[in-house]
Amino acid sequence: MIFAFATASPSTRPLYVLRPDEIATFQAERGAAWAEWLTATDFEAGLGEVRLLPGKDGGVAGAVVGYGSAQARRRTRFGLAKAVAGLPAGDWALQGTLDQGERTEAALAWLLSAYRFDRYRPGRKPAAETRLVCPEHVDPERLIAMAEAEALTRDLINTPAEDMGPAELETAFLDLAAGFGATTEVIRGEDLLTQGFPMIHAVGRASPRVPRLLDMRWGSAGPKLTLVGKGVCFDTGGLNLKPSAGMSLMKKDMGGAATVIGLARMIMSLGLAVQLRVLVPAVENLVSGTSIKPKDILTSRKGLTVEVNDTDAEGRLILADALAYACEGNPDILISMATLTGAARVAVGPDLAPYYTDDAGLAAALEAGAKAGFDPVWRLPFHDAYETVIEPGIADLDNAPGYGFAGSITAALFVRRFVEGPRYMHFDIYGHTPSDLPARPKGGVGQGARALLEALPAMLRQ
């Protein structure tokens, strides 16, 4: 999918963005014909409300779109993107009193609105091509990099497991690396055991599509940044089988991997001065005679033993080996992303990306980055008082304590046990939009990646 801004030309039409209190002034300045038209069509400048403006030749001379009230904008992310579907094909230029941040948000929303997942609908009529002239003082290269990365993340999540297993995720990973001259290594199948990744192997061994660890390196100068993404390409729950309702969206259980791949794409395409490493343990959690069993005890790469009290808590097992391996490379900053727990969704819903860190500097940078990237996050605590909950007595750790509370926190505490040395941040994302929203159609979605991109300069300076 190609994302681009238009170049201003004589055929470019104006798109006037109006707040409710600006309607009267606009009508007075633009003449009786448009004033009467807006009155006759009851235009109230609600957020995303569109009216096409007639030209003297009977064509469309421009359009107005409402910017709504401050409350409406707080309650609807990317609200101006509603206008895109109401505009005819052609090039458009924003006009009005938007500040730079508002123009940037509008331009990003416009690009994100162009996304379509049509892989399985090849005969679908393409949407009308409405292009925006990049607003003044807005960085088009940066926004296009964000949109392209988000499209990659969405495509990976939206593709069903039949066509997005560990091998296909590996192909996408290697294709991205090749496109930017990154180096790669892949450890597959029984080699995971001989090279010290027993828990990645244990989770994935029940599938005929062999488990693997994907490793990408890019950049030779700057601080070391390592990203780790959970790549469970489908999760049945294993022997602790999910009910059908719980399994229906499990093609998205590789959303952490898809999101770090998207973030890596942004970092490389913008040429950030960083030594980037990306690790993705890619598996399917299926049921067979070789499935891990409840109460099995696994020994991790780090040497910690783990009692498996629920085979459906598999993501933290594969992350554990990958995180321990990441720390062996002595990164300055380590970030993990995973669709790890339903508890996180209960806590904050599908629109926020909850994250954990003990580092106040990283948290402050991320909060600022979330605002700049229009990518909301919410900090949850590594609450040390719950550490004993994940200690079963028979082994060092319990992958699914029957505590009944704080499921996202205890999962985060579990993965933190495998991190030593680097400054660390963990995301427990959802990776899915349950219904169509402005600039975010129903389906896979990246969370936290734009916030991190905007935060990285400050993080890496600390």
Strand ranges of the sheet holding 13-18, from the earlier edge strand across to the other edge: 50-54, 60-66, 13-18, 90-96, 130-132
Structure tokens at 417: 């046990």
In one-letter notation, the amino acid at residue 283 is V
306's CB contacts (< 8 A; 6+ apart) are: 199, 297, 298, 299, 300, 317, 320, 395, 396, 397, 398, 399
Q: Are 285 and 279 in contact (CB under 8 A)?
A: no
Catalytic, 316? Answer: yes
Catalytic hit among 77, 116, 242, 423: 242
Q: Are 287 and 277 in contact (CB under 8 A)?
A: no
Q: Where are the beta strands (DSSP E) in 195-230?
A: 212-218, 224-229
Catalytic hit among 316, 417, 440, 450: 316
* Rounded CA separation 419/356 (Å): 13
Catalytic, 450? Answer: no
Instruction: Quote the DSSP letter at residue 349.
Output: -
**CA–centroid distance for 295 within its chain:** 34
Instruction: Note the residue count of the chain.
Output: 462
Element (H, E) at 365: helix 360-372
How far apart, in Å, are the Cα atoms of 148 and each of 78, 119, 140, 143, 264? 17, 17, 12, 9, 12
Closest CA to 440 of 376, 360, 394, 384: 376
Q: Are 87 and 126 in contact (CB under 8 A)?
A: no
Q: Are 224 and 332 in contact (CB under 8 A)?
A: yes
Q: Where are the beta strands (DSSP E) in 271-352?
A: 275-285, 297-299, 305-307, 333-338
Catalytic amino acids?
242, 316
